[in-house]
Amino acid sequence: AQSVTQLDSQVPVFEEAPVELRCNYSSSVSVYLFWYVQYPNQGLQLLLKYLSGSTLVKGINGFEAEFNKSQTSFHLRKPSVHISDTAEYFCAVMTLGNAGNMLTFGGGTRLMVKP
Amino acid sequence: NAGVTQTPKFQVLKTGQSMTLQCAQDMNHNSMYWYRQDPGMGLRLIYYSASEGTTDKGEVPNGYNVSRLNKREFSLRLESAAPSQTSVYFCASRMGTGTSYNEQFFGPGTRLTVL
């Protein structure tokens, strides 16, 4: 079985500052990796994904993440955050060959951008 | 296209009452999913359906039943609600049914409180 750990439940940051949201996973088989964003009172939206190829993945809204296989991490970064980035962010994994494309989610990190 | 829609948006039940959460998608997707979201635990899969007439248990199926009424609709039923089922419920859908990755699209959620 696989699991996902998001090390920070809340991350406060000032507007225009850089941010990193941390995600570590464990799995005995190869995985795909994802970051989702959930704005208040809305469903989840895919921010970016790693399926194969370059370990640096760029997503929407200026976010990027780097897959580090040796450290089993997939941290999310943005060089300069905006107030509108305030949301909850979820890291998720999916094992390759998973017939149902079932996702395992981390507990979430609430990003709070302050003016 | 409306995407994935869920009804109702909010519901309050008393312990022991029953109710059905409705989900519909207009993207001609084959697979549909029900998740629950609890603070600090991310989203956990309750059931999923790879096609009309087929359903499979996810991580937390106890206390729930599902029906894949047709290709568009996937309902979740609580026969005898318990306070532990207080949660936000999300429906999702994706095009594929096999092991190849397809993005899951999420509905806006149903916030359920069981007193």
Residue of A nearest to B9 (CA): A41
* Any B CB within 8 A of A90 CB: yes
Question: Which residues have a Cβ under 8 Å from the Cβ of A1 and sit 6 or more positions away?
Answer: none
What are the pLDDT tens digits along chain A (115 aa)?
889 999 999 999 999 999 999 999 998 888 899 999 999 888 899 999 999 889 999 999 999 999 999 999 999 999 999 999 999 999 999 988 777 888 999 999 999 999 9
Cβ-defined contact of B45 to A103 (cutoff 8 Å): yes
Bridge pairing between strands A87-95 and A104-105: antiparallel
Cβ-defined contact of B90 to A108 (cutoff 8 Å): no
Could you give the CA distance from residue B71 to residue B102 in angstroms, rounded to a whole number?
A: 17
Q: Which letter does DSSP use for residue B29 in this model? A: -
Per-residue pLDDT reduced to its tens digit, B8-63: 999 999 999 999 999 999 999 999 999 999 988 889 999 999 998 899 999 999 99
Q: Which of A44, A96, A101 sits opposite B94 (nearest CB)?
A: A101
Q: Quick one: pLDDT at residue B102? A: 85
Q: Quick one: pLDDT at residue B25? A: 96
Q: Which of B41, B56, B108 sits opposite A107 (nearest CB)?
A: B41
Q: Quick one: pLDDT at residue A58? A: 96
